[in-house]
A and B are shown apart, each in its own frame.
Chain A
Amino acid sequence: MNTKLIKKGDLAVIAVIVAAALIFAFFNYRNAENPVAVITVDGVTVETVDLASVKEKITIKPQTAFNVEIAAENGEIWFEHSDCEDRLCVATGKLKNGGDTAVCLPAKTVITIMGSDVDAVVY
């Protein structure tokens, strides 16, 4: 039983994965008209920021295990600083589109951009 590098089944597997990813992306990554950033810490929503209404740069310091700073400006929101060990949250960069997500795992803090309720209108 010599295993080949690629078989027909492989192509089917890849096709199913790509299709699933595309369908998920299509339904979730719409450009939100009124993007709202939701900040959760340990599963609890601690702050929602209507990004369109942010005129000047604001800084949010959620209550977490250590010092985490979130900043928002020009319809974007991002982790400005974190005292965690890897700072992957800061490296994620600025979020602005629906579905964009940044996570600081050690701080259990997640920022996700959601469309506001206006987006829920049936087309």
Chain B
Amino acid sequence: MPLFTDMKKKNNIAYKTALLGILCGLALALGFLESLLPPIPWLPPGAKPGFSNIITMFTAGSLGFPAAAAIALAKSGLAFVTRGATAGIMSLSGGILSAAAMYLLMRYARKALGLIGISVICALCHNLGQLFAAVFITGTANIIYYAPALAVFGIFTGAVTGIVLKAVIPPLEKLKLLLIKNK
């Protein structure tokens, strides 16, 4: 049985849009929940666990890259409106790079890697995108001093994301089937 119901065969735009809307909502809600957490010591303030990546990964695996990128775009749009331009750019750079990694790994690396490995790499891609954006904004390469702490933190948060994703795939798949039934 495939991990995800392949959406490519179902050419129903309305269905896909509705599903993407629900997934976007879930991702934004998780992002908001995360913003309520206190800052984590030893890490650059602003480093977050990235719970919404659970949803983005599911989207990349079942709806493909454009849909996952749309979620990243929605998230950065919200960051832009609520937290300013810098936060928007940081969210977008990390989000798009990790969405691309999610799609490619979900598609081509599933034989070699489990969900934990895939989501750890995606978490690091998110960090990498943000580090590049920060270097670009400040014009200072010194920011890579944050990289080791972020990488180790990314292993933990990525592993958590992978474990939770495994657990929530069945209910999310049910959500999809529910939408098809009520079509």
Which A residues contact B (CB, under 8 angstroms)? 1-7, 9-10, 13-14, 17-18, 20-22, 24-25, 28, 38, 40, 42-44, 84-86, 88, 91-92, 99-101, 103, 105-106, 108-110, 112
Contact = CB atoms under 8 A, between A and B. Distances in A.
Contacts of A13: 113, 117, 120-121
Interface stretch (B25-33, B68-76, B82-90): B82-90
B141 to A, nearest CB: 9
Contact of B116 (A10, A92, A112): A10
Interface string B138-149: 111011011111
Between B84, B138, B151, the greatest number of chain A beta carbons within 10 A of the residue's beta carbon is seen for B138
A83 to B, nearest CB: 12
A40 B135 CA distance: 12
B45 A88 contact: yes
A92 to B, nearest CB: 5
A108 B134 CA distance: 9
Q: Which 4 pairs from chain A and chain B are nearest by CB? A: A43-B139, A10-B117, A21-B148, A91-B45
Interface residues of B, number: 43
Given A5-B166, A6-B116, A112 B139 contact: no
A42 B112 contact: no
B138 A43 contact: yes
A85 B83 contact: yes
Contact of A9 (B83, B113, B143): B113
B110 interface: yes
A3 B105 CA distance: 12
A42 B137 CA distance: 7
26 contacts: A1-B110, A2-B1, A4-B114, A6-B116, A7-B112, A9-B112, A17-B120, A18-B151, A18-B155, A20-B148, A21-B151, A22-B148, A40-B140, A84-B84, A86-B46, A86-B84, A91-B45, A99-B145, A100-B145, A101-B44, A103-B138, A105-B134, A106-B85, A110-B138, A110-B142, A112-B145
A91 B147 CA distance: 18
Given A5-B166, A17-B124, 11 more contacts: A3-B110, A5-B115, A5-B162, A6-B114, A17-B120, A18-B155, A38-B142, A84-B84, A85-B86, A92-B44, A110-B138
A14 B120 CA distance: 8
Interface in B150-165: 151-152, 154-155, 162-163
